[in-house]
Amino acid sequence: MKRKLVSSGSKMEQLASYSRALRVGDRVFLSGTTGYDYASMTIQPDAAAQCQQLFRNAEAALAAAGTSLKEVVMTRIYCPAAEDFDAILPILGEKFRGIMPASVGILADLVRPEIRVEIEMEAIIGSAEIAD
């Protein structure tokens, strides 16, 4: 089975030798994705704005791997502070409404102090339909 590698072009991916997303068969794994605007390499200071950009980054990577948020089955969401979760919950609710992936929220220090939220996702292509 061949791998399809997806890159955002970020320097971090090149430096650490990882892919933004990786597709193997019908499974897609999205690496920890943050709210950096990769075109300008800037990041907004608040968690909600970062979360909005994070989803733009994630949706682009998922599309390049041949899937979308509709096929996400698992998320892991990392924030350095509980207040950050409070700020992003409405955005998560909007983006995943009707999709309902399994999910976990984790309080953790992130690699840069300006990062307020990071997310990993797993998708299975062909899993968008929800059973009764």
pLDDT of residue 39: 86
Q: How many residues does the chain have?
A: 132
- 3-124: CATH, from 3.30.70.600, 3.40.50.2020, 1.10.3720.10, 3.30.1330.40: 3.30.1330.40
Per-residue model confidence (pLDDT) at position 38: 85
Spell out the domain ranges in the chain: 3-124
| pLDDT by residue, tens only, the chain of 132 residues | 899 989 888 788 888 888 899 999 999 999 999 999 988 889 999 999 999 999 999 999 999 999 999 999 999 999 999 999 999 999 999 999 999 999 999 999 999 999 999 999 999 999 998 877
Q: With the CA atoms of 35, 38, 40 and 41 taken in that order, what torsion angle do they form, in degrees rounded to the nearest 10? A: 60
